[in-house]
Amino acid sequence: MSKQETTLPRPFASGESGEDRPAIVVSGPTASGKSALALAIAQSFDGVVINADALQVYRELSILTARPDAGATSLAPHRLYGFLPADERCSAARWRRLALSEIAAAHAAGKLPVLCGGTGFYIKALEEGLAEIPEIPSDVLARGEALLAAQGVEGLRAAMLERDPDLAARVGARDKQRLLRAWSVQEATGRSLTDWQRGPAAPDGAAALRCLHLVLLPPRAALDAAIAARFRAMLAAGALEEARHMAALGLDPSLPACKALGLPELARHLAGELDLEAATQGAIEATRRYAKRQGTWLRGQVIGQKKSVKLLNAQFSESDLEEFFPIIRQFLLTVPA
């Protein structure tokens, strides 16, 4: 699709009073078709696709993270994809600063920012702000990973019940990443994560953003089938070689890039612990569990809370654009007073 659908009102916000700062947010579980929808919007509404996926930022993980390929990026500008080496950590705060910069650049050029990704907390952080929690030293993160390995998720959760009972009560028993984050913040700063989160968010221009949320939530059976088909397509495209390259880097296993969906299972296959079919099935099941958590987040944090939301209970296909495009046009033409 190459024909531009509409001309956007100009100028977009450059920080001056009264200017409109619209953005489209495309969300959904992994394999729901987010990237294709975001690309179609960017092509038709003179937009820039801005990555909001915590793992698509890593240079070495193009296949396993389903990062938009050269064909897609040649059709519309894509930002914040594959720009970090796998040995770095990209926190929500770091991504937020970069995303706000890219959004401002898009508006300054008269283009529509189209945020796309499955990391719901990134979008929440973008819109609502973050407390200014200091960076956590790598040795503290390593100690937390060691504690998790030694005591398991339940042991870590028990430790957090003493340190931050409010957060431990809110976080599910299997949510090891949030528990590890809470433990690390308490260990490094002497203050609980709940205490930090109750503080004021850092002021910036995000409050002026006006977002339309487009959410894809396919039926479970259809999504499960899409996840399985996509992972097998990833293998055919070279995912095993990508995993072999990651293993050769000898990275700290606590790094976010080392936890990409499918990577741990393929690493076990390369180490001789699993045959390829067992690794494939394990990766598919892990991805399905993650997709289920994404759906739960979207229902509670977006569909149940945001004012401007359009939900599609289906896998994205081009025919859905007839439903989405009028809503986008109306959103762009409705400039608040």
User: Position 253: which residue type?
Assistant: P
pLDDT at 97: 92
Instruction: Please give the Cα distance from 213 to 80 (Å, whole number).
Output: 20
CB 226 within 8 A of CB 32: yes
Nearest to 254 by CA among 181, 163, 159: 181
The widest CA-to-CA distance across the chain, in whole angstroms, is 63
* Cβ–Cβ under 8 Å, residues 207 and 178: no
Question: What's the confidence (pLDDT) of residue 337?
Answer: 59
Location of each CATH 3.40.50.300 domain in the chain: 22-130+202-333
**Tens digit of each residue's pLDDT, the chain (337 residues):** 444 554 454 445 444 444 689 999 999 999 999 999 999 999 999 999 999 999 999 999 999 999 999 999 999 999 999 999 999 989 888 999 999 999 999 999 999 999 999 999 999 999 988 777 778 888 888 888 888 888 888 888 887 778 888 777 776 666 777 788 888 888 898 888 888 777 655 556 565 799 999 999 999 999 999 999 999 999 999 999 999 999 999 998 888 999 999 999 999 999 999 999 999 999 999 999 999 999 999 999 999 889 899 999 999 999 999 999 999 999 999 876 5
- Delimiting residues of CATH 1.10.20.140 domain(s) in the chain: 138-198
SS3 107: helix
- Predicted TM-score (pTM) of the model is 0.83
| CATH code assigned to 22-130+202-333 | 3.40.50.300
Rounded alpha-carbon distances, angstroms, from residue 297 to 32, 194, 269, 332 = 15, 19, 31, 26
Element (H, E) at 110: none
Task: Write down the pLDDT at residue 119.
Answer: 93
- According to the CATH classification, is domain 138-198 in 1.20.58.340? no
Q: What is residue 258's predicted lDDT score, i.e. its pLDDT?
A: 94
**Contacts for 245-252: CB closer than 8 Å, 24+ residues apart:** 245/60, 246/60, 246/61, 246/86, 247/271, 249/60, 249/86, 249/87, 251/86, 251/87, 252/87, 252/138, 252/142
pLDDT of residue 208: 75
